[in-house]
Chains A and B, each alone.
Chain A
Amino acid sequence: MVSEPLFRLSDLHFAYDSGQPVLTGADFTLHAGDRVALTGPNGAGKTTLLHLMVGLLKAQAGQVEAFGRLRIHEKDFVEVRPRAGLLFQDPDDQLFCPTVAEDVAFGPLNLGKSRTEARMIVRHTLARLGLEGFENRVTYKLSGGQRRLVALATVLAMNPEVLLLDEPTNALDAETRARLITILDSLPQAMIVISHDKDFLNRIARRWVRLEQGRLAEG
């Protein structure tokens, strides 16, 4: 039995207000368990593609199907975002709460979990990432690597079915990078990973997709 794909993008067209088209008929399908490396030159629109998938940007033409339903309006995407966790390029954009615990709990609380449940999720998620005892740390005083891992924790705390990772190894030291690889490799979720780090992609990805001149090509 072939399962329903998690995401199906068909014939997406997108251009920013300022002109130059970014996507010109992009097609893409993501199945459960897929681990996709999304590569392409700078400015090719890789981040744009991820943002289109969770409705942070709206395509001028084409369709976004997510979790078995066509998604068009903002309210369709509200349900998609917790299920497709997006990790931003800069952890400083993602971590905005004063303490780590509050930041990790932010998503679960928005999803209607009680404080007790949220606290449990926080402890659990931090433990999974080897971040025990970080609950009361102040986010702006964390190191770059710690910030990245905590940002990942905030995404995992919502228990997404898909992970969209935007240059997760950017500016990481060797130790944190190795730790991140171990973590990602152990996760069951389908992933799309944007990166220029070939070695990292070789160890995580099982499928390669290249974005060039507005279109996606396998291989």
Chain B
Amino acid sequence: MTALAEVSHPHTGSIDLPPLQKGGWGGFRASEHLLKTVDARLRVVACGIFALTVVGLTQIPSLLMALALAGCAAMAARLEFASTLRRMAALDGFILFVLFFLPFTVPGEGIFSLNGVTASYEGVLRAVEILLKANAVVLMIMALLGSMEPVELGHAMARLRLPVKFVHLFLFTVRYIEVLGREYRRLRTAMKARGFRLRCDPHTWRSIGYLFGMLLVRGIERAERIVTAMRCRGFQGHFHLMTEAEPVGRRDYAFVGLSVMAACALIILESLHW
């Protein structure tokens, strides 16, 4: 090992430096709850299986069961109750608008009417079904994937041999969204410092337009600098991810078994006629 290190580094000078204070957040090795110790790849796969199964369900009891399962997973992942609820509410607010129209557009047996338009029983059922599906899947995603670091998720996707472009797009986004966010906040603060307030007038619209235009220009310039820096380090279009897959352990197998059992239970419950 020393020999190799010397071959690749003839200029090795040893410098006496104390190790740098690490401070803050050190890697993603935290393992304070059960789900976090499960292999990330398996969590991604389990999440996929769950989502595909739930999307196929149509019976209310099996959907309620799916939501309950997702709730159990969320508890196992120790998701914070309030913030989870807030995120789910954000999703529901998004789809409620669409769901509101369903009872009135799906034909079937009328149950009530609003302003002369009749809502159908089938439509209401359909809306409830979609609401349950969406919430069950999102809650499960938050429990299984939301509890890992984005970078860990990216690595898991790479190891699962998902399309390379997709993985890199994801990892670059993770890496630079914060840089762009910082740039946005800096510009926004600078605007505030010069007395800018959001109003509903052409001046506001124009200024916000400039702000986003400037962000776009800076984003492109930064992208160019990054590619330049990559070329300086010998980049010629080929990428190497240094991922080390940890071997799958007994706990991981137990997790897979549980996931498959849960999916089977959902399918059996669905096939019973209520």
Q: Which A residues form the contact surface with B (CB < 8 A)?
A: 51, 54, 56, 78, 81-82, 85-86, 88, 90, 92-94, 96-99, 101-102, 105-111, 113, 115, 117-121, 124-125, 128-141, 143, 146, 149, 154-155, 158-159, 179, 182-183, 186-189
Contacts and interface: CB of A to CB of B under 8 A. Distances in A.
A78 B229 contact: no
B171 A98 contact: yes
Interface residues of B, number: 50
Interface stretch (B37-45, B47-55, B172-180): B172-180
B232 A187 contact: no
A131 B151 contact: no
Contact of A117 (B4, B22, B172): B4
Contact of A93 (B17, B149, B222, B235): B222
Contacts of A139: 175
B22 A133 contact: yes
Interface string B1-39: 100110011111111011110111111110000000000
A121 B26 contact: no
A74 to B, nearest CB: 9
Given A93-B226, A105-B242, A106-B240, A133 B9 contact: no
Nearest to A131: B20
B228 to A, nearest CB: 5
A93 B225 contact: yes
Nearest to A93: B225
A134 to B, nearest CB: 8
B5 A124 contact: yes
Nearest to B228: A56
Contact of A128 (B10, B14, B26): B14
Nearest to A55: B231
B242 A102 contact: yes
B234 interface: yes
Contact of A81 (B8, B27, B231): B231
Interface secondary structure of A, over-half rule: helix
Contacts of B179: 92, 140
Contact of A106 (B174, B175, B235): B235
Contacts of B29: 136
B230 interface: yes
A115 B242 contact: yes
Given A102-B241, A106-B235, 7 more contacts: A54-B232, A97-B175, A113-B8, A120-B1, A125-B9, A138-B25, A140-B176
Given A102-B242, A121-B9, A138-B28, A133 B19 contact: yes
B103 interface: no
Contacts of A140: 174-176, 178-179
| Most A Cβ at <10 Å: residue of B18, B149, B176, B232 | B232
A182 B17 CA distance: 9
